[in-house]
Amino acid sequence: MVSKYPTSSAPGRYENVVHPDRQLLTGISVLIIGAGVGGIMSALECWRKGHTVRILERSHGPVETGQFKYPHILSGMLIYGPRGDFFTVGPSAVKAFRNWPQLAKENEELAYDPWVSYHKHTGEVVVKPSGMTWDGSRGVAPSRLYRHHRPKFYQMLLAQLAAIGVQVEWDHRVIDYYEDIEAGKGGCILDSGEKLEADLVIAADGLGTRSHKLVVGRKIEARSSGYAIYRTAYPVELALADPQVAERFKMLDNGHSVNEIWVGPDMHLIVWRSQDLMSWLITHKDDGTATESWHDRTSIEDVLTFTAKIPGWPDIMNRVIKTTPEGGITDWKLMWRDPQSQWASPGGRVVQVGDAAHTFVPSSGNGATQAIEDALCLASCLQLGGKSNIPLAVKVHVKLRNDRVSCCQYMGFVNQETYQHTNWDAVTQNPDAIKAKYGSWIWAHDAEKYAYENYGNVVLSIISGEPFENTNTPPGHVPRSWKIDELLALQKEGKTLELDGDWS
Ligand SMILES: Cc1cc2nc3c(=O)[nH]c(=O)nc-3n(C[C@H](O)[C@H](O)[C@H](O)COP(=O)(O)OP(=O)(O)OC[C@H]3O[C@@H](n4cnc5c(N)ncnc54)[C@H](O)[C@@H]3O)c2cc1C
């Protein structure tokens, strides 16, 4: 199908662009709250599966973390350059784009493919740069990374949404959710007092979701995970103006950039010089001053005061930090909510996806990836269940997703432990032990196919009472509930986090 629709975020961009044929209309109306990655991908996939989609967002327009105003090195004139940081979109989420030709093309064009090296916090190399290698042997491992500049990725999704004729309704802040089981409707209340309803409401309103009161019967505030992250990205020319930084952070001869991961005592750093951007992120203990806002800025001096306390920290990284434009660093509080088994309201008319359902620490590399998997699974379950079985379809979706997501969340803490409480004896014997775990149970997963293959089995298990066992978790792993406090207590005692089953 050729798009006939103009796009507000990228005028003209999608004229004559081919997008997927829509599958048979289901008559299911879906109202999505929040236009982050989870919300937009839910909108795209629900549209593709034939559901009717409406999407609301509290912001005035696309969040502009994408532009930086800074003085040009030579002329001193104020010019604009890119800002905003990065995330990696995992292979299981990239699979979503096979159904979206334009997204598949742009994903290849926009994504960076850095090589990765590992270092001690002194800068000493532990593992030399190499292309991303994925653990495990199930399926053909992808050969590259899809590291995305967050604002560009977001714009890419928004433009595709506009191309199919779905416009985000900006300036719509939801303050509460409800459901009317008898009428078979989910609903939300806007700050204007207006009530909106649909066959299913998808709460994709992120970490601070207002849906918990309805879903679990009480408000669950996200709390500090104990860590915060200094994060920034800015035009690379600012960094390269320091000759020592330019010399130290060169592109590789093969054209790839190098993403360096430095591990240290209760902290780790990711520093990456790409073709056009310099980016560094330091995960550190939260002293209570970090916030969760792009608007609160931290000074270079504050970061240097922190690095001054790290024994052996090399001057070159302080030089990098000093190249950051003033006002360009955010000290982002890493918030956490323990894994919860309930993501849907009692009557199944409101369901959470993405960060609203599950929080992640960044070292899991999976928050956005799992939000996209949620979208693929939920849209498919709704299609399979049909309009008369929405609560059942939602129940099946949660069953198919919950154990897997809990494992991904746990993996984030295991990776963080590897980086910040490194077992140097193990690394001396096998330097690869320093690498984060991304096993084939995670990257080889196909959330859409899994939903199609297992929907009937879950329905059968609900009817018969026989247990259903997911196969999208590490083989041999027995799902169990856990809490962050248990993990932090183990860490405090110097114990390692257990991995039962095969996480490779
Ligand atoms: C430092 C860092 C690094 C990360 N790295 C990675 C990575 O490498 N790979 C990865 O997969 N993930 C990564 N993540 C996680 C990823 O960014 C998030 O998990 C993902 O963006 C969540 O998407 P979401 O759509 O669920 O929520 P959000 O992106 O938070 O979107 C929620 C949307 O809802 C809107 N909203 C909120 N409240 C309301 C309301 N009341 N009414 C209406 N609208 C509302 C918000 O304005 C927002 O647009 C990282 C996160 C951090 C902090």
**CB contact at 8 A, 40 and 48:** no
What's the CA-to-centroid distance between 206 and ligand 1, angstroms?
6
CB of 344 closer than 8 Å to CB of 377 = no
pLDDT digits (tens, 9 = 90+) for 339-357: 999 999 999 999 999 999 9
Judged against a pLDDT cut of 90, whether residue 138 lies above it is answered with no
Q: How far apart are CA 468 and CA 453, in angstroms?
A: 13
Tokens of 77: 């004139």
Could you report the per-residue pLDDT of 31-77, keeping only the tens digit for each?
999 999 999 999 999 999 999 999 999 999 886 554 556 655 555 56
Q: Residue 5 — left, alpha, or beta (φ > 0 → left; ψ -120 to 50 → alpha)?
A: beta
Q: What percent of the chain has pLDDT over 90?
A: 72
Write down the catalytic residue from 13, 48, 231, 349.
Answer: 231
Q: pLDDT value at position 367?
A: 96
Contacts 24+ apart (CB under 8 A), 192-196: 196/31, 196/54, 196/56
Give 243 Cα–ligand 1 centroid separation in angstroms: 36
In the predicted model, what is the mean pLDDT of the chain?
90
Best probe residue, ligand 1, of 9, 37, 337 (max atoms within 8 Å of C-beta): 37
User: Does any ligand 1 atom lie closer than 6 A to the CB of residue 134?
Assistant: no
Mutate to test the pocket of ligand 1, among 177, 188, 205, 409 (most ligand atoms within 8 A of CB): 205
The answer on pLDDT for 4 being more than 50 is: no
Going through 28-83 in order, the beta strands assigned E by DSSP cover: 29-33, 52-56, 67-71, 78-82
Measured from the CB, is residue 174 less than 6 Å from ligand 1?
Answer: yes
Greater pLDDT, 469 or 286: 469
Q: Tell me which residue of 349, 368, 299 sits closest to 154, measured CA to CA.
A: 368
Q: Which is nearest to 27 in space by CA: 334, 388, 304, 354?
A: 388
Strand partners, 352: 203
Whether 135 and 437 have beta carbons less than 8 Å apart is answered as: yes
* Tokens 């309009």 sit on residue: 387
Contact 368 CB / ligand 1 (< 6 Å): yes
Q: Is 209 helix (H, G, I), strand (E, B) or coil?
A: coil
Quickly tell me which residue has 């850095």 as its tokens. 114
Contact indicator for 73, 47 with CB cutoff of 8 Å: no
- For 74-88, give the secondary structure using H, E and C: CCCCEEEEECCCEEE
Query: Does residue 365 line the site of ligand 1, with CB under 6 A?
Result: yes
DSSP 257-325: -EEEEEEETTEEEEEEE-SSEEEEEEEEE--S--BS-SS--B-HHHHHHHHTTSTT--HHHHHHHHTSP
113 pLDDT exceeds 90?
yes
Domains and CATH numbers, the chain: 29-62+151-222+337-492 (3.50.50.60), 114-140+223-335 (3.30.9.30)
Which residues, 6 or more positions from 445, have their beta carbon under 8 angstroms from its beta carbon? 92, 373, 404, 472
Q: What is the mean pLDDT of residues 173-194?
A: 98
Q: Residue 469: exposed, middle, or buried by beta-carbon count in 10 A (0-12, 13-18, 19+)?
A: exposed
Confirm or reject: Cβ of 366 under 6 Å from ligand 1.
Answer: yes
Strand partners, 185: 180
Is 231 tagged catalytic?
yes
Instruction: Measure 372 CA to ligand 1 centroid, in angstroms.
Output: 11
Report the distance separating Cα 361 and Cα 335, nearest Å: 8
On the question of pLDDT at 100 being above 50, the answer is yes
Please provide residue 164's backbone torsions phi and psi, each rounded to the nearest 5 degrees.
Answer: -95, 5
How large is the average pLDDT for residues 455-464? Answer: 98
Output the six-digit token pair for 255.
């054209």
Copy the structure tokens of residue 241.
Answer: 């103006």
Condensed to tens digits (0 to 9), the pLDDT of residues 287-299 reads 887 777 666 678 9
Atom 4 in ligand 1: which residue has the minimum CA distance? 362
pLDDT digit string, tens, across residues 193-247: 999 999 999 999 999 999 999 999 998 888 888 899 999 988 999 999 999 999 9
Q: Distance between CA atoms of 19 and 375, rounded to whole angstroms?
A: 18
Which of 45, 55, 57 has most ligand 1 atoms within 8 Å of its beta carbon, as the pocket-test mutant?
Answer: 57
Q: Which of 3-17, 108-122, 300-314, 476-490 has the lowest mean pLDDT?
A: 3-17
Ligand 1 atom index nearest CA of 209? 38
Does pLDDT of 248 surpass 50? yes
Q: What is the dihedral of CA 11, 157, 18, 443, to 10 degrees?
A: 160
Q: Residue range 260-280: average pLDDT?
A: 94
The alpha carbon of residue 265 and the mean position of all alpha carbons in its chain are separated, in whole angstroms, by 26
391-439 residue pLDDT tens: 999 999 999 999 999 999 999 999 988 998 888 999 999 999 999 888 9
Ligand 1 in contact with 173 (CB < 6 A)? yes
Determine the Cα–Cα distance for residues 119 and 128; give it in Å rounded to an integer.
9
Residue nearest to atom 2 of ligand 1 (CA): 362
- Please work out whether the CB of residue 371 comes within 6 Å of at least one atom of ligand 1: yes
Partners of 67 in the β-ladder = 82
- pLDDT given for residue 187 in this prediction: 98
3-state secondary structure labels for all residues of 171-204: CCCEEEEEEECCCCEEEEEECCCCEEEECEEEEC
Give me the amino acid identity at 428. T
Lowest mean pLDDT among 130-134, 365-369, 475-479: 130-134
253-266 pLDDT, tens digit per residue, is 999 999 999 999 99
Distance in Å, CA 330 to ligand 1 centroid: 16
- pLDDT at site 10: 45
Sheet hosting strand 195-198, strand order edge to edge? 174-180, 185-190, 195-198
Are residues 354 and 206 in contact, defined by beta-carbon separation less than 8 angstroms?
yes
CA atoms of 192 and 96, how far apart (whole Å) = 35
